[in-house]
Amino acid sequence: MDAGELLKALEFAAMKHRDQRRKDEAQSPYINHPLAAVTMLWNHGVRDRVPLLAAVLHDTVEDTGTTREELATVFGEDVAAVVMEVTDDKSLPKDRRKELQVEHAPHLSSHAKLVKLADKIVNLRDLTDSPPANWSPERRAQYFVWAQTVVAGLRGVSASLEQAFDAEHARGTRGN
Ligand code: NDP
Ligand code: ZN
């Protein structure tokens, strides 16, 4: 993986998410999240350009005005395709989007599965360490159950990431 291309993607995502914040009490800068996802992949041995770039860019289409065409022009069709695989259809109600993530997970490409695993691991970590300001314990618990159901369909691409997910899940549900 070329460092220059990774930095270009980080710069692109930072610009796209520049006016957004995460939902934690401190309203962390949004870019911390894609940065955490790509770091998670790197720390678990992923070196392929497509999943690394797609992890950096994974929320740009869903949460900013970025289009598939723009990603394809700047980063290539292969990266754009993986980002689209992990992008929810926001015209659907939230509950349906959640169901579809579970249904789609086993059919994703290996690269998209890696990105989704990293996304779910870092979101569980955030729910334990810096949760959304107004979430009840029940709502957090529901998210842990749902994330585990999605991840059941992602298994088989990285034993190391799966272990990290299981450890994060256990840490977040300990004592519940
Ligand atoms: P959201 O999808 O609105 O929020 C979760 C998402 O927020 C994460 O997947 C992550 O997505 C992003 N996020 C931003 N900041 C954080 C953070 N600090 N920690 C973790 N995630 C963060 O909420 P739900 O997943 O709860 O989806 C709504 C569902 O919740 C509905 O289906 C509804 O049924 C249910 N609900 C339950 C309630 C309850 O009290 N039990 C109340 C209201 C709704 P990303 O990586 O994409 O940024
Ligand atoms: Zn995400």
70 is catalytic: no
CA of 65 to the centre of ligand 2 (A): 16
How much is the pLDDT for 90? 92
Predicted local distance difference test score (pLDDT) of residue 40: 98
Q: Does the beta carbon of 30 lie inside 6 Å of ligand 1?
A: no
The rounded Å distance from CA 86 to ligand 2 centre is 9
Taking the CA of residue 119 as reference, the ligand 1 atom at the shortest distance is 46
Task: Identify the residue whose tokens are 């497509």.
Answer: 50
Q: Which domains does the chain have, with CATH numbers?
A: 3-173 (1.10.3210.10)
Say what the pLDDT of residue 174 is: 85
Distance in Å, CA 81 to ligand 2 centroid: 16
What SS3 state is found at 70?
helix
Q: What are phi and psi of 24, to 5 degrees?
A: -70, 165
The rounded distance, in Å, linking the Cα atoms of 53 and 50 is: 5
CA gap 127, 162 in Å, rounded: 18
Instruction: Tell me the per-residue pLDDT of 68-85, one tens digit each, with 9 for 90 and over.
Output: 999 999 999 999 999 999
pTM: 0.95
Substitution candidate for ligand 1 out of 66, 83, 94, 136 with most atoms within 8 A of CB: 94
Our answer to whether residue 63 is catalytic in this structure is yes
Q: How far is the CA of 135 from the centre of ligand 1 (A)?
A: 9
Share of the chain above pLDDT 90, in %: 97
- The Cα–Cα gap between 21 and 28 comes to 6
- For ligand 1, say whether the CB of 101 is within 6 Å of any of its atoms: no
Q: Using one digit for the tens of pLDDT, what is the confidence trace for 34-63?
A: 999 999 999 999 999 999 999 999 999 999
Ligand nearest to the CA of 58: 2
